[in-house]
């Protein structure tokens, strides 16, 4: 097929598509990117990057002569034989992945037929490859083959994850198709897992579900630590030294968010249910993640009693640092919950402009952390942006009506903050009230009716 000569096609220029396109160009390939969003394509053609991803702008700029953007399938398909699909598969109301955009792509490709390989990078339910092939054959597109090549890109580290991955997974029915796709990764030094299409699809779901399980597990350990005076940070360190466990994804906090984990865990649960299997463990993983956000509110109530007419400052809104992504961010639930308790909420995030924001109705988004903390009765660190570690906390203390700080990511130096006069509390650290009545949260009583048991200090 001569992929070295014919450019690679990438359909969908969101995070995954754009990063993949830039990285393939960096590896020396010519790439044609298609998106149905005309504004986005026009912006990219003019060198304007619509998303924030460290290093992406430079990579696109450095490889500009190998990259082209279009909205025309005719244009894309006349140039490319290998087509990577990187369109959104958001959750549908039933919890299943919404594959309407994938179906649209398949329809466009089927209509034009030809001798091609459709390579699925989007996360799709196990079995999708079979359905797509069926759709293609039903429409007479016999020359279009299918390969599953799931992505494992973390936002904020996506370029590194693409160019230095832990593994490349390629699921193909025809080994020759797999060979062709594997050849495109020449220059990437990583083990390649060659397998069937459904196995490749499952590797993606199982990986994300396992990582989410690790997070919910350590969050539950954190909650138990609070009751017994242990410190989850050292527990995680001690556990992580066991090479069978490993040190990663054992950071306790207010739970996982983002565009992948919540959606993929839900979709895997749904997929199992659709085939008659009740995936018990994933139910717990999801529930723990939901309750973990409410736990932070319960901590405030434990210290302050009612939150009615109190002012709470949120530090960080994105689902994690180094991204501008607010999808499934804990801050959204937290802000709504706090307002539901009658509190006024101010917030600051380095990537969210000051003013009102549709995702945060009623919340004042401030232009600086100091502004968000001014006159606040409590502050919650929601996203561990490095700049919060460098804040002049002594000055912040003076700004606050009450120097109560709940560190939802265990990211700050609790001892230093306590020495600076803060009432500091992490999650699962030894600085909270031991044996406090937070069971209302862990037992699923979302009213969070907690006692006002005093702290140890
Ligand atoms: C994730 C996967 O890592 C990636 O392989 C996949 O393809 C897409 O989903 P991403 O969503 O960008 O990537 O973020 P990640 O860094 O994995 O973090 C996910 C969430 O888990 C964040 O909200 C983060 O704050 C949280 N997290 C992560 C924890 O709470 N504790 C941890 O120890 C690690």
150-200 pLDDT per residue, tens: 999 999 999 999 999 999 999 999 999 999 999 999 999 999 999 999 999
Rounded distance from Cα 256 to ligand 1 centre (Å): 7
Structure tokens at 377: 């009765």
Each residue's pLDDT tens digit, 255-291: 999 989 999 999 999 999 999 999 999 999 999 999 9
For the chain, the straight-line distance linking the first and the last C-alpha, in angstroms and rounded, comes to 71
- Which ligand 1 atom lies nearest to the CA of residue 251? 33
**pLDDT of residue 412 exceeding 50:** yes
Cβ atoms within 10 Å, residue 244: 5
Check if CATH label 3.30.70.100 holds for domain 231-457: no
What pLDDT was estimated at residue 140? 95
Structure tokens at 137: 């054959």
Q: Give the closest residue (by CA) to ligand 1 atom 27.
A: 256
Greater pLDDT, 402 or 435: 402
Residues taking part in catalysis: 260
**pLDDT of residue 417 exceeding 60:** yes
- Name all residues whose Cβ lies below 6 A of ligand 1: 151-155, 208, 215, 249-251, 253, 256-258, 260-261, 319-320
Q: SS3 for 412?
A: coil
**pLDDT of residue 430 exceeding 90:** no
Greater pLDDT, 457 or 360: 360
**Level-2 CATH architecture, domain 8-195:** 3-Layer(aba) Sandwich (3.40)
* Whole-angstrom distance, CA of residue 307 vs CA of residue 99: 42
- Which ligand 1 atom lies nearest to the CA of residue 409? 30
Q: SS3 for 453?
A: coil
The rounded mean pLDDT for the chain is 92
Rounded distance from Cα 96 to ligand 1 centre (Å): 21
Which residue ranges does the chain devote to CATH 3.40.50.720?
8-195, 231-457
Using alpha carbons, select from 77, 98, 79 the residue that is nearest to residue 88: 98
Q: What are phi and psi of 351, to 5 degrees?
A: -105, 0
Ligand 1 binding pocket mutation candidate from 159, 209, 320 (most atoms within 8 A of CB) = 320
**pLDDT of residue 453 exceeding 60:** no
- Which ligand 1 atom lies nearest to the CA of residue 323? 12
What residue has token string 């053609």? Answer: 45
Q: Give the closest residue (by CA) to ligand 1 atom 22.
A: 256
* Whole-angstrom distance, CA of residue 172 vs CA of residue 179: 9
Using alpha carbons, select from 121, 143, 118 the residue that is nearest to residue 132: 118
* Whole-angstrom distance, CA of residue 373 vs CA of residue 380: 10
User: Of 85-94, 106-115, 293-302, which gets the smallest average pLDDT?
Assistant: 85-94
Share of the chain above pLDDT 70, in %: 93
Query: CA 333, 336, 338: angle at the middle one, nearest 5?
Result: 105
Q: Which residues of 368-388 are buried (b: 16+ CB within 10 A; e: fewer)?
A: ebbbbbbebbbbbbbbbbeeb
Question: Are 235 and 225 within 8 A, CB to CB?
Answer: yes
pLDDT band at 348 (very low <50, low <70, confident <90, very high): very high
Rounded distance from Cα 261 to ligand 1 centre (Å): 7
Rounded distance from Cα 395 to ligand 1 centre (Å): 32
What residue has token string 């079979």? Answer: 130
Question: Are 190 and 162 within 8 A, CB to CB?
Answer: no
């Amino acid at each position: 097929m001569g992929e070295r000569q014919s450019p690679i096609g990438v359909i969908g220029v969101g995070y995954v598509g754009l990063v993949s396109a830039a990285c393939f160009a960096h590896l020396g390939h010519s790439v044609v990117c298609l998106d149905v969003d005309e504004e986005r394509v026009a912006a990219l053609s003019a060198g304007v990057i619509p998303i924030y991803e460290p290093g992406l702008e430079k990579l696109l700029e450095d490889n500009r002569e190998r990259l082209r953007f279009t909205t025309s399938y005719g244009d894309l398909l006349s140039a490319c034989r290998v087509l990577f699909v990187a369109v959104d598969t958001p959750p549908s109301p039933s919890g299943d992945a919404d594959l309407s955009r994938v179906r649209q792509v398949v329809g466009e490709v089927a209509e034009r037929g030809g001798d091609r390989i459709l390579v699925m990078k989007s996360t799709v339910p196990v079995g999708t490859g079979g359905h797509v092939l069926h759709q293609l054959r039903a429409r007479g597109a016999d020359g279009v083959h299918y390969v599953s090549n799931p992505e494992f890109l973390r936002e904020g580290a996506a370029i590194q994850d693409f160019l230095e991955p832990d593994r490349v997974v390629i699921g193909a029915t025809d080994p020759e198709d797999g060979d062709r796709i594997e050849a495109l990764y020449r220059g990437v030094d990583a083990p390649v897992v060659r397998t069937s299409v459904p196995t490749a699809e499952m590797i993606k779901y199982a990986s994300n579900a396992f990582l989410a399980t690790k997070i919910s597990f350590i969050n539950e350990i954190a909650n138990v630590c609070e009751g017994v005076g242990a410190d989850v940070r050292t527990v995680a360190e001690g556990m992580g030294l066991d090479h069978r466990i490993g040190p990663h994804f054992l950071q306790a906090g207010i739970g996982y968010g983002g565009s992948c984990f919540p959606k993929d865990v839900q979709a895997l649960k749904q997929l199992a249910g659709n085939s008659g299997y009740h995936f018990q463990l994933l139910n717990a993983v999801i529930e723990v993640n939901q309750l973990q956000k409410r736990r932070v509110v319960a901590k405030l109530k434990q210290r302050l009693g009612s939150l009615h007419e109190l002012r709470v400052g949120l530090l960080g809104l994105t689902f994690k640092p180094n991204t501008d992504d607010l999808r499934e961010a804990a801050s959204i639930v937290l802000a709504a919950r706090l307002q539901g308790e009658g509190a006024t909420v101010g917030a600051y995030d380095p990537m969210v402009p000051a003013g009102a924001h549709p995702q945060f109705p009623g919340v004042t988004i401030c232009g600086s952390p100091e502004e968000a903390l001014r006159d606040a009765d409590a502050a919650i660190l929601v996203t561990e942006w490095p700049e919060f570690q460098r804040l002049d906390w002594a000055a912040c203390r003076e700004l606050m009506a009450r120097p109560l700080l709940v560190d939802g990511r265990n990211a700050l130096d609790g001892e230093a903050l306590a020495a600076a006069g803060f009432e500091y509390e992490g999650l699962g650290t030894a600085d909270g009230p031991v044996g406090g009545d937070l069971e209302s949260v862990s037992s699923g009583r979302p009213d969070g009716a907690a006692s006002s048991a005093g702290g140890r200090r």
